[in-house]
Amino acid sequence: MSNVLEHRTWRYATKKFDPSKKVSENDLQTLLEATRLSASSYGLQPYHVFVIQDQDLKEQLKPVSWGQSQITDASHIIVFANATDFGEELVDDYLVNVSETRGIPTDNLKGYSDFMKSKLMDLPKDMKSNWTARQAYIAFGNLMQAAAELKIDTCPMEGFETEKYNEILGLNDKNLNAAVVLAVGYRSEKDETQHLPKVRKSKEELFTHI
């Protein structure tokens, strides 16, 4: 089996973390860089990522995360927060970055700027929020797979009260919304879930070759 499949077979949604085991700073930075390098539509990355290690804050988040122990036992909790709305500054700021990174005059990027704005600016606010959340999920998936390559356990979590997360983390004032949460750390030996066979649809059921 190739490493690609080995990593994906090894990972599972960890239900019980070992609170005594912490992700090293070096590994954490590798995970965050993998997240930063993730693909996103037009390269705009319309989201922000909160990396939570503070135990007191995790204790505050646990009751509004359906009481799930992963929140307090995992080494880090990573919250992907999507932009709830945006204007032309999303594109303008990105193209300044492109100009500085690639040494291209901003005037030469006007055509690309106009194209992106024509596709994004007239979207209704709810569609903008839906689109930014989907972009956050792309980065979220990349982080999970990078963790698996490092043999770091994760648990993707949508079981939380979004409004309470937004309140506790002060996201409303930042035009952000908690989209999805990833618990990161190391599995407990007592987590029986790790021994269960992975259940997925068969290739015949899942794929259609045309």
83-118 confidence digits (pLDDT tens): 999 999 999 999 999 999 999 999 999 999 999 999
Residue 156 to residue 154: CA distance in whole angstroms = 7
Domain extent for 131: 3-206
pLDDT digits 0-9 by tens, 60-90: 999 999 999 999 999 999 999 999 999 999 9
Q: Smallest Cα–Cα separation from 126: which of 81, 86, 181? A: 86
Note the pLDDT of residue 31: 98
Residue 120: pLDDT band (50, 70, 90) is: very high
Residue 55: pLDDT band (50, 70, 90) is: very high
Q: Smallest Cα–Cα separation from 181: which of 155, 197, 157, 149? A: 157
CATH of the domain at 10: 3.40.109.10
Q: Is the pLDDT of residue 59 over 70?
A: yes
Note the pLDDT of residue 190: 97
Query: Which residue's structure tokens are 């569609």?
Result: 127
Averaged pLDDT of the chain: 97
Three-state SS string over 134-197 comes to: HHHHHHHHHHHHHHHHCCCEEEEECCCCHHHHHHHCCCHHHCEEEEEEEEEECECCCCHHHHCC
Residue 87 to residue 119: CA distance in whole angstroms = 12
Query: Which residue's structure tokens are 């980065």?
Result: 139
Q: Smallest Cα–Cα separation from 182: which of 31, 9, 8? A: 31
Q: Is the pLDDT of residue 21 over 60?
A: yes
Note the pLDDT of residue 1: 57
- Which amino acid belongs to residue 91? V
Residue 37: pLDDT band (50, 70, 90) is: very high
Residue 153: pLDDT band (50, 70, 90) is: very high
Q: What is the mean pLDDT of residues 164-184?
A: 98
Query: Which residue's structure tokens are 């356990």?
Result: 153
Note the pLDDT of residue 147: 98
3 state DSSP class of 22: coil
Number of domains in the chain: 1
Cβ–Cβ < 8 Å for 183, 191: no
Supply the pTM of this predicted model: 0.96
Cβ–Cβ < 8 Å for 74, 155: yes
Residue 2: pLDDT band (50, 70, 90) is: confident
Q: Is the pLDDT of residue 186 over 80?
A: yes
